Structure 1
Amino acid sequence: MLKKGSKLYSILTGTCPKCHEESMYIIKNSYILSKVFDMHEKCSHCETKYKIEPSFFFGAMFVSYGVSVLIGIIAFLVSHFIFKTNLKTSFVSIVISLIALMPIIMRISRNIWINIFIHYDKNIKIKL
């Protein structure tokens, strides 16, 4: 399920959507907040340019909203129905979850956005 060649692999690992050989991000740790958006210009293996056009990743903001809503729903369901908390505590768990996962949400959203437009190519010639 999570192997090279799948969109899910590229989205969850942050690798090049074309060849799946290199991380798109300069620093892999998304919790270094000053570097969370720092990306390579292009893949060193297949030469795929990550920023297709100026402000390309602006669209990732809309993906981020959807991912945040999903995480908020999951946080609510877990806190309210599994831990049997009241609504106020469930709301606090949503806020804490979103703040704690913010850097991951930002990167996952960028990964989803670029994978919409660039597809894996198993026949690509990798530069050595």
Structure 2
Amino acid sequence: MSKKSGFQAMLGAKCPQCREGKLFSVSPFSFRKISDINHSCPVCQANLYPEPDFYYGAMYISYAFSVALVITALTAINILIPEPKLWMYLTTVFVGNLLLFPAMLRYSKVLYLYGLGKLKYRGH
């Protein structure tokens, strides 16, 4: 039985059913198969692919993360720099997206599975 809350399980990218098994087969710092999700939970054997191509919907969440990053970066530049140049905007958005891409890609799938995966926590 896991003592983790649903929020802690989401942050740790754990199975929504047991909150212990890892969703991803590789480390977030490995760029090979960075977003491949295990087909079943290694702990409780829950099916992590409710239907074929289930995770295509996660691209909408990933897009929302990117838009939020752009808006935040542009607002921060406008507040912190008196007369920003175009290259400052472009560089900040490009570097921010490049650095945060792995996290945005992974957590969009985690949020999509938790929201629409129909797997409920089965704590004993």
In the alignment, structure 1 residue 56 sits paired with structure 2 residue 54: yes
Paired residue secondary structure (1:36): coil
Higher relative CO (Cα under 8 Å, sequence separation at least 6) belongs to: 1
Task: State the 1:119 CA deviation.
Answer: 4.7
The aligned runs of 1:1-128 (5 Å cut-off) are 4-6=4-6, 8-28=7-27, 30-84=28-82, 86-88=84-86, 89-117=88-116, 118-123=118-123
Aligned residue for 2:32, secondary structure, equals helix
Q: Bigger shift: 52-61 or 87-96?
A: 87-96
**2:37 partner letter:** M
Runs of 5+ unmatched residues, structure 1 = none
Partners of 2:9 and 2:16 within 8 A in 1: yes
Distance 1:92 1:112 in 2: 28
Provide the TM-score with structure 1 as the length reference. 0.80
Q: How many residue pairs are counted as aligned between the two chains?
A: 120
TM norm structure 2 = 0.83
Alignment-mate amino acid for residue 107 of structure 2:
I
Deviation at 1:83, TM superposition (A): 4.7
Q: 1 CA distance for matches of 2:69 and 2:5?
A: 26
**CA deviations over 1:27-86 (Å, ceiling 9, x no partner):** 12x232222022221112222111111101000011111111111122222233135561
60-69 vs 34-43, which deviates more? 34-43
